[in-house]
Amino acid sequence: MLQHSGFLLDIDAVQEALRREGLAGWLIYDFHGINAVARALFSLGDYHITRRWFYFIPASGEPTLLAHAIEKTSYPALPGRMLLYAGLQQMQERLREVLPTAGQIAMEYSPMNDVPTVSYVDAGMIELLRSLGVDLVTSANLVQEFQAKWSAEQLRSHIAAAQVVHEAQREAFQMIETALQARTPINEYDVQQFILQRFAAANCITDSAPIVAVNANASNPHYAPTASVYSPIRPGDVILIDLWAKQKTPRAVFADITWMGFAGAEPPERVQHVFDTVREARDRGVDFLRQNWQAGKPVKGYEVDQIVRQYITEASFGDYFVHRTGHSLGAEVHANGVNIDSYETRDSRAIIPGVAFSIEPGVYLPEFGVRSEINVYLGDNGPEIHTEPQRELVTLQV
């Protein structure tokens, strides 16, 4: 039987990972698309499937697709056998038949919702399976291993996208400087739309318009101007530009950066101090990663966040750092790998070779906000950064 071309799992590799983790199997469950991991791994969106389905990969042996009898012809070819059920009672009987009660089985759930990006199985299904004697654990490590790691081609796409976003931010600051020097009115929305035009010219796409924010607008981490809501950009303004894009190619991954500028030759002392603090916190996170890599010590996502957050807190800005340090990066700008987070969640997954993420601390005071964002890819020889880290504020000669 030919395997469905959209099926992204290498069964042999999954089973090797299960044995390495000491797990009896991985049970992937979905109903009406509630499991984003299942949607991504199986690509069943074009198939008419309306009933609950399960795909069980044991640590050794043949996988099993458990599907409703009325949908026996609704699935593409998948590795392993198909087993059918009709009513609820038969579904439970089939689950007892398929699932071992000895050993632990991974599913897309997270104890105490520590990692919500991999927590998709509803509480009722968890209760049902536990009533059958199944010992459930999180599949977070498996999801990272088989959904978040980049291929060599994806890394190349990231490097190409990084060049595009950096050129766009440089041109955006030049655009602002030229307009202010000529005393031509310019606003946040103008700059945002210019960046989108630069993406299109470079054959790149994004999932949302860039953030261009001045002064107090930059204090809102997810502010973005619109055609009707924006602020003018004037001399003396603090300017934040956060932009992300990827190539228009299959499985391309994002580059995501944030740079800071000041509309003037000499930034105020407080603006400079906050920027220096954020930059140093960012760099301490990278140094922590590199030092532990060189020492052969694994690092977890929450540990990097703690290092970055501790520095900002010791600088008396802890109350103004109101988000995680970084997010997983992939074909979606917020992907399913490890997040750099001990604040919003506690991501205890190890940072493994092949994954990428942002490091983007921020300080958001009432009058202005500062964020500095880079992307880190963990390669075979340690952390790699293909997005230029900002060292100094961009100062505009106006």
- Rounded Cα gap, residues 288 and 197, in angstroms: 37
Q: What pLDDT, in 10s, does the model give residues 199-228?
A: 999 999 999 999 999 999 999 999 999 999
Q: Which two tokens stand for residue 1?
A: 């039987």
Query: Does pLDDT of 2 surpass 50?
Result: no
Q: What does CATH list as the number for 11-147?
A: 3.40.350.10
| pLDDT band at 7; cut points 50, 70, 90 | confident
Q: Is the dihedral of CA 139, 141, 142, 148 positive or negative?
A: positive
Q: Which amino acid is at 143?
A: V
Domain segments of the chain: what residues?
A: 11-147, 149-395
Runs of H (alpha helix) within the chain: 11-21, 36-42, 88-98, 123-131, 140-143, 152-181, 188-201, 269-294, 301-314
Amino acid (one-letter) located at 8:
L
- Radius of gyration for the alpha carbons in the chain, expressed in angstroms and rounded: 24
| Partners of 244 in beta bridges | 256
Check residue 5 and give its pLDDT: 54
In the predicted structure, residue 140 carries a pLDDT above the cut 90: yes
Q: Which residue carries 């976003």 as its tokens?
A: 165
**Above 60 in pLDDT, residue 393?**
yes
Residue 355 banded pLDDT, cuts 50, 70, 90: very high
Report yes or no: 247 and 144 within 8 Å, Cβ to Cβ.
no
Predicted pLDDT at 180: 99
Output phi, psi for 350, to 5 deg. -75, 145
380: pLDDT strictly greater than 70 = yes
Task: Please tell me the predicted confidence (pLDDT) of residue 10.
Answer: 94
pLDDT band (50, 70, 90) for residue 93: very high
Which CATH superfamily, name and number, covers 149-395?
Creatinase/methionine aminopeptidase superfamily (3.90.230.10)
For 228-267, the pLDDT digits (tens) are 999 999 999 999 999 999 999 999 999 999 999 999 999 9
* Residue 172 CB contacts under 8 Å (≥ 6 apart), including other chains: 191, 194, 195, 198, 212, 241, 243
Same topology, domains 11-147 and 149-395? Answer is no
- β-bridge mates for residue 321, sequence order: none
In tens, the pLDDT along 101-129 reads: 899 999 999 999 999 999 999 999 999 99
- For the segment 79-93, the average pLDDT, to the nearest whole number, is 97
Q: CB–CB of 106/27 below 8 Å?
A: yes
Q: What is the pTM of this model?
A: 0.94
Structure tokens at 140: 């977070």
Rounded-to-integer distance, Cα 321 and Cα 343, Å: 10
In this prediction, residue 3 has a pLDDT band, given cuts at 50, 70 and 90, of low
